């Protein structure tokens, strides 16, 4: 991927850490390498759980030029737990609808959130630099989170039960050791290279021009994708709104395009005029040319060093699965590390982070590879089939489902088994153990609207339909009783989870459904919780 | 378990074969390829059973 240089939007400063003057090598329970969205999310989550966390970043600024713009419902739900979800939604542009065109004609439209009764929309668009700035601000409010700018990790010595890190700063090098290192140092992960780990997968040759432009335009807040539009024949184009009257326009350029040339304003402007009309006033915010790849590490956990985000897996942007799945990594990992450090989990639990998130990476890579193959077919026959699909989609419904302009990010179910207890009772079509949560509107004591996901705690939560089990459970288990302290007056919770009076659902600290029963049984709840903590 | 029907299943195989050839009569190779692709997709959807389609893909390698 090309790495353009841009001016800083947010500049943070280097500050000398007391660690650099310590007589002996300082030791930390957790060091996070990389202050991108994933490192910051991991660090904030752990710090909120009470752990002192050191975050290292080789840089000290957030630059103009947004990579991610689409943040998913699930990422927003994760960000709600980190205290930045509301800010993101306030600043972002909410959307649920996507439209696909071929030539001049719309051939297909999709609604990513066809039902009401969710706190968060299917997606918002928001420049990645805003997300990072909100996370940095939140990190700064946590006294036990020590964010060290211009601290570049330059060597690692992995040990049996700790790792020693060598860090380079403007004042020279120093060393620290850590019980756990979370590697969130991005797609080119120096840590991955230091450990000699491979990053395997597929590289796509097609080049894409990404232009973020400022303009007053009346396009709706929808994702518009063209195959072979009249203004950019033979290639694809994407148009998507961002805050501040900024629009992302993404032109497929093909394999042979000259990146340096295509970035020049005198090349970009005619493309924009052809698309938007001669008279639309557009100002270029940011232009870049990318190629994409879909790759992952074979294993995300290497002893005391755990990989997350782009360092562990990389996807093409068609489907907005990069940062979004990185937030899910962070959310999956933080509670497990927390439980392990606090002596509440079995040592296996970290291996389950690897298992669950490697499965998710395969899901995301599969989806984004298929979309990229559809958008830029690799062979003459692949192109023939792609165009046949588009032709058929004009006339027949079935082919619309095959048109792939990007399958947008959804959280991956981990399935029953592993940490999640399989059902023993009968349940109708609904959220199954090991699945991500589905939100539902509820009311509190005062009759005010609250949301299921906000009612779940940072630890395990048992949600009971109509039966008060508080007295039977350990005091530290969070219990939500539908029909007592909260009400499900619309019946959407009961519908989405197929509950009846007596049903009990156990949610993991990352809000995934862990186990469920038609009738409360204390021992079964405890056993399911122990299993989810890696004692299974 | 195989589900793909590989014994004669059409009432008039000769007529169907002729119709397929006929459909390509005035087409260039490129148009024929596109036509075939549309046919495959239509028929795959009609079959409506992923396993059968995958079996057919295998059988067609013959
Ligand atoms: C054009 C484009 C569009 C995209 N659109 C979307 C989208 O719409 N939605 C979406 O979800 N994703 C999208 N993505 C992907 C998204 O940008 C990435 O997945 C995301 O930034 C990954 O976050 P991260 O924290 O894992 O890594 P990064 O954001 O790369 O952060 C890594 C950090 O580690 C630091 N670092 C590196 N080496 C060291 C070292 N040795 N020592 C200390 N620190 C170090 C870096 O300075 C950096 O701050 C897009 C990507 C591109 C290119």
Could you tell me if A45 and A180 are in contact, meaning their C-beta atoms sit under 8 angstroms apart?
A: no
Could you tell me if A232 and A253 are in contact, meaning their C-beta atoms sit under 8 angstroms apart?
A: no
| Residue A15 CB coordination number (10 Å) | 12
* Spatial separation of the C-alpha atoms in residues A532 and A335, rounded to whole Å: 11
List chain A residues with CB under 8 Å of B41: 385, 388-389, 392, 399, 402
Give the domain ranges of chain A: 3-85+120-198+294-349, 201-293, 441-535
DSSP characters over A257-280: --HHHHTSHHHHHHHHHHHH-TT-
Retrieve residue A446's tokens.
Answer: 């005062």
Tell me the shortest Cα–Cα distance from B33 to chain A, in angstroms: 7
Using most ligand atoms within 8 A of CB, pick from A56, A68, A82 the residue to mutate for ligand 1: A68
Residue A217 confidence class, pLDDT cut points 50, 70, 90: confident
With residue A124 as reference, give the H or E element that holds it: strand A123-125
Could you tell me if A74 and A409 are in contact, meaning their C-beta atoms sit under 8 angstroms apart?
A: yes
* Spatial separation of the C-alpha atoms in residues B39 and A389, rounded to whole Å: 10
**pLDDT at residue A369 is higher than 60:** yes
Cross-chain Cβ contact A387/B42 below 8 Å:
no
A305-307/A301-302 β-pairing? antiparallel
Residue A101 confidence class, pLDDT cut points 50, 70, 90: very high
Q: Percent of chain A beyond pLDDT 70?
A: 99
Atom of ligand 1 lying closest to residue A210 CA = 1
Cross-chain Cβ contact B41/A388 below 8 Å:
yes
Residue of B nearest to A381 (CA): B33
CATH of A201-293, one of 3.40.228.10, 3.40.50.300, 3.30.1300.10, 3.30.9.10: 3.30.9.10
Residue A536 confidence class, pLDDT cut points 50, 70, 90: confident
Q: Tell me the mean pLDDT in the region A442-471.
A: 95
Q: Under an 8 Å CB criterion, which residues of A touch B?
A: 381, 384-385, 387-389, 391-392, 396, 398-399, 402
Retrieve residue A71's tokens.
Answer: 């943040």
Q: Is residue B51 part of a domain?
A: yes
pLDDT of A304 reads: 98
> Please, what is the angle between helix A128-140 and helix A73-82, to 10°?
20
Q: Tell me the mean pLDDT in the region A333-347.
A: 97
Q: Tell me the mean pLDDT in the region A440-461.
A: 96
DSSP state for residue B25 in the 8-state scheme: T
**pLDDT at residue B39 is higher than 80:** yes
With residue A172 as reference, give the H or E element that holds it: strand A172-183
Backbone dihedral angles phi then psi of residue A271, each to the nearest 5 degrees: -60, -45
Retrieve residue A452's tokens.
Answer: 């299921």
CATH of A441-535, one of 2.60.40.10, 3.40.1710.10, 3.40.30.120, 3.30.2420.10: 3.40.30.120
pLDDT of A1 reads: 42
Measured by CA distance, the residue closest to atom 44 of ligand 1 is: A57
Q: Is A114 exposed, middle or buried (0-12, 13-18, 19+ CB in 10 A)?
A: exposed
Does residue A287's CB lie within 6 angstroms of at least one atom of ligand 1? no
- Which of A384, A389, A392 to substitute to test the interface with B, most B CBs within 10 Å? A384
Could you tell me if A241 and A95 are in contact, meaning their C-beta atoms sit under 8 angstroms apart?
A: yes
- State the total domains in chain B: 1
Could you tell me if A184 and A39 are in contact, meaning their C-beta atoms sit under 8 angstroms apart?
A: yes
DSSP state for residue A423 in the 8-state scheme: P
In a 3-state reduction of DSSP, which class is residue A465? Answer: strand
Residue of B nearest to A392 (CA): B38
> What is the ipTM, given to two decimal places?
0.96
pLDDT of A3 reads: 45
DSSP characters over A182-247: EE---TT-HHHHHTT---EEEE---EEEEEEEE------SSEEEEES-TTSTTSEEEEEEETTTEE
- Which of A228, A382, A388 to substitute to test the interface with B, most B CBs within 10 Å? A388
Using the Cα atoms of residue A390, residue A394, residue A399 and residue A402 in order, give the sign of their dihedral: positive
Q: Which domain holds residue B61?
A: 28-62
Q: Please report where in the chains the tokens 């290192």 appear, as a residue.
A: A181
pLDDT of A2 reads: 42
* CA-to-CA separations, A428 to A216, A425, A437, A487, A506, in angstroms, rounded: 48, 10, 16, 22, 17
pLDDT of A5 reads: 54
Q: Is residue B38 part of a domain?
A: yes
| Residue A321 CB coordination number (10 Å) | 32
- Please compute Rg for chain B using Cα positions: 13
* Spatial separation of the C-alpha atoms in residues A10 and A129, rounded to whole Å: 9
Q: Please report where in the chains the tokens 């062979």 appear, as a residue.
A: A379
Looking at domain A3-85+120-198+294-349, its CATH superfamily turns out to be: FAD/NAD(P)-binding domain (3.50.50.60)
Of A43-52, A59-68, A515-524, B35-44, minimum mean pLDDT range: A59-68
Q: Tell me the mean pLDDT in the region A108-131.
A: 94
**pLDDT at residue A4 is higher than 50:** no
* Spatial separation of the C-alpha atoms in residues A200 and A184, rounded to whole Å: 18
Q: Tell me the mean pLDDT in the region A495-501.
A: 97
Q: Tell me the mean pLDDT in the region A437-455.
A: 96
Could you tell me if A510 and A493 are in contact, meaning their C-beta atoms sit under 8 angstroms apart?
A: no
With residue A107 as reference, give the H or E element that holds it: strand A105-111
Between positions 3 and 32 of B, the ones with CB within 8 A of A are: none
Q: Is residue B46 part of a domain?
A: yes
Residues 6+ apart with CB under 8 A from A49: A334, A335, A338, A458
Residue A218 confidence class, pLDDT cut points 50, 70, 90: confident
In a 3-state reduction of DSSP, which class is residue A167? Answer: strand
Q: Tell me the mean pLDDT in the region A268-279.
A: 93
DSSP characters over A483-520: TTTBB-TT-HHHHHHT--TT-EEEE-TTS-EEEEESS-
pLDDT of A6 reads: 62
A452-463 residues labelled b (16+ CB within 10 A) or e (exposed):
bbebbbbbbbbb
Retrieve residue A431's tokens.
Answer: 């959220």
CA A328 to centroid of chain Cα atoms: 5
Q: Is residue B50 part of a domain?
A: yes
How many residues would you count in chain A? Answer: 536
Residue A65 confidence class, pLDDT cut points 50, 70, 90: confident
**pLDDT at residue A78 is higher than 80:** yes
* Spatial separation of the C-alpha atoms in residues A119 and A327, rounded to whole Å: 18
Average pLDDT, chain A: 95
């Amino acid at each position: 991927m090309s790495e353009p240089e841009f001016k800083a939007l947010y500049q943070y400063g280097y500050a000398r850490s007391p660690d650099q003057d310590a007589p002996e090598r300082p030791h930390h329970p957790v060091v996070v390498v990389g202050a991108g969205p994933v490192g910051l999310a991991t660090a904030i989550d752990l710090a909120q759980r009470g752990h002192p966390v050191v975050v290292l970043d080789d840089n000290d600024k957030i630059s103009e030029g947004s990579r991610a713009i689409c943040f998913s419902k699930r990422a927003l739900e994760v960000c709600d737990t980190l205290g930045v979800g509301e800010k993101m939604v306030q600043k972002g542009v909410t959307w649920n609808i996507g439209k696909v065109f071929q030539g001049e004609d719309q051939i297909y439209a999709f609604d990513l959130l066809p039902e009401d009764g969710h706190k968060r929309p299917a997606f918002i668009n928001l420049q990645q630099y805003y997300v990072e700035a909100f996370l940095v601000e939140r990190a700064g409010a946590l006294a036990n989170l020590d964010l060290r700018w211009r601290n570049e990790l330059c060597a690692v010595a992995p040990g049996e039960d700790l790792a020693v890190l060598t860090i380079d700063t403007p004042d020279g090098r120093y060393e620290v050791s850590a019980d756990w290192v979370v590697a969130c140092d991005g797609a080119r992960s120096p840590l991955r290279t230091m450990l000699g780990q491979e990053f395997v997968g597929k590289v796509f040759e097609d080049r894409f021009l990404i232009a973020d432009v400022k303009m007053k335009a009346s396009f709706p807040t929808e994702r518009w994708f063209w195959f072979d539009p009249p203004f950019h024949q033979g290639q694809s184009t994407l148009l998507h709104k961002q805050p501040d009257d900024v629009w992302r326009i993404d032109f497929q350029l093909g394999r042979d395009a000259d990146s340096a040339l295509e970035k020049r304003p005198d090349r970009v402007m005619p493309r924009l005029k052809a698309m938007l009309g001669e008279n639309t006033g557009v100002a270029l915010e940011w232009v870049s040319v990318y190629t994409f790849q879909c790759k992952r590490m074979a294993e995300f956990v290497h002893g005391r060093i755990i990989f997350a985000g782009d360092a562990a897996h990389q996807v093409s942007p068609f489907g907005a699965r990069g940062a979004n799945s990185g937030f899910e990594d962070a959310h999956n990992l933080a509670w497990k590390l927390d439980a392990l450090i606090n002596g509440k989990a079995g040592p296996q639990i970290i291996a389950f982070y690897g298992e669950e998130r490697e499965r998710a990476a395969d899901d995301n890579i599969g989806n984004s590879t298929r979309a990229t193959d559809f958008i830029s077919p690799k062979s003459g026959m692949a192109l023939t089939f792609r165009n046949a699909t588009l032709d058929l989609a004009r006339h027949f419904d079935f082919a619309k489902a095959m048109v792939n302009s990007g399958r947008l990010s959804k959280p991956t179910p981990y399935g029953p088994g592993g940490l999640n207890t399989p059902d023993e009772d009968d349940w109708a079509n609904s959220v199954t153990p090991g699945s991500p949560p589905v939100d539902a509107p509820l009311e509190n004591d005062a009759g005010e609207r609250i949301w299921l996901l906000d009612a779940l705690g940072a630890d395990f939560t048992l949600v009971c339909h109509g039966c008060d089990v508080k007295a039977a459970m350990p005091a530290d288990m969070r219990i939500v009783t539908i029909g007592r302290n909260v009400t499900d007056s619309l019946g959407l919770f009961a519908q989405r989870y197929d509950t009846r009076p007596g049903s009990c659902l156990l949610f993991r600290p990352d809000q995934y459904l862990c186990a469920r029963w038609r009738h409360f049984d204390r021992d079964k709840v405890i056993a399911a919780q122990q299993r989810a903590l890696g004692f299974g | 378990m195989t589900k793909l029907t590989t014994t004669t299943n059409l009432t008039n195989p000769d007529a169907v074969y002729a119709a397929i050839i006929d459909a390509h009569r005035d087409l260039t190779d490129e148009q024929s390829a596109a036509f075939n692709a549309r046919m495959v997709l239509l028929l795959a959807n009609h079959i409506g059973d992923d396993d059968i389609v995958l079996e057919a893909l295998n059988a067609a390698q013959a």
